[in-house]
Structures are given as structure tokens and as C-alpha cells.
């Protein structure tokens, strides 16, 4: 008898460490071999005699990939170009590299693409 498990098998995963937070981008498969993305924010918190992790998860389905990326690109570009035009966002990548931290480097003029 197969165990009933609501958590689907992970097909692909990327991790982004960001201070006390870690973001996970995971591709999972449905029972009908369709794919979806989960985005998880994990925050480490000290509680009582040790650490616990508070997690928040977003499920993103293929029919929403392009809309999601467009909204994310528009929002990030608005912050970079309209709200903080004088900030050199590449400095954050350099700071992480100097500290030996895991980073995901992107060109500030490059938009995210989903093929």
C-alpha cells in the first residue's frame, strides 16, 4: 500500500540565501505529470531552547508564469528606476561575493525570462 503524501516530489530546486531568510524555488510534479513552482521563504527564529523556522509558501502554476514574471519585473524595475534610481544594486552582489555567500547574479538591465 502506497503512503498518502500531500508533499509532491521535487524535480528541480534553487536556493537563495538572504541574511536570516532563505528562499527556495522548487519545481514539483502533479499526479498527472504537470509541473508547478513553489516559492518558499524560510526565516530562522530563536525560540525557547533553540531555533525554529517560519515558512511561507506560494504555489505558482504554469498558466500564471508569464503574468507573475511580468508583474515581478515591472515591480522591481519601478523600485530600481523610479524610487531608488541612485542605488547601485550591483553592490549587493559584490558584498555577498566578498563574504563568500551564495549569490544569484543578474545584470540590472536584464529582465527575467520564462521559456
CATH code, 58: 3.10.450.700
Residue 4 lies in a domain: no
pLDDT at 49: 83
Residue 31 lies in a domain: yes
Residue 105 lies in a domain: no
Residue 106 lies in a domain: no
Three cell numbers written together for 95: 558584498
Residue 5 lies in a domain: no
**Residue 57 structural domain:** 10-98
Residue 111 lies in a domain: no
Cα–Cα distance, 110 to 67 (Å, whole number):
17
pTM of the model: 0.70
pLDDT at 107: 40
Residue 108 lies in a domain: no
The number of folded domains in the chain is: 1
Spans in the chain with pLDDT lower than 70: 1-8, 96, 99-115
DSSP for 54-101 reads EEEEEEEEGGGHHHHHHHHHHHHHHIIIII-TT--THHHHHHHHHTT-
pLDDT at 93: 81
Residue 24 lies in a domain: yes
Amino acid at each position: 500500500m502506497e503512503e498518502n503524501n500531500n508533499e509532491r516530489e521535487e524535480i528541480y530546486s534553487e536556493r537563495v540565501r538572504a541574511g536570516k531568510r532563505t528562499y527556495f524555488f522548487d519545481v514539483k510534479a502533479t499526479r498527472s505529470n504537470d509541473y508547478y513552482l513553489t516559492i518558499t521563504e524560510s526565516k530562522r527564529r530563536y525560540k525557547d531552547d533553540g531555533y525554529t523556522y517560519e515558512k511561507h509558501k506560494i504555489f505558482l502554476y504554469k498558466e500564471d508564469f508569464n503574468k507573475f514574471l511580468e508583474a515581478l519585473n515591472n515591480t522591481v524595475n519601478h523600485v530600481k528606476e523610479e524610487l531608488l534610481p541612485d542605488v547601485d544594486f550591483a553592490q549587493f552582489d559584490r558584498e555577498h561575493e566578498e563574504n563568500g555567500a551564495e549569490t544569484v547574479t543578474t545584470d540590472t538591465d536584464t529582465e527575467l525570462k520564462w521559456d
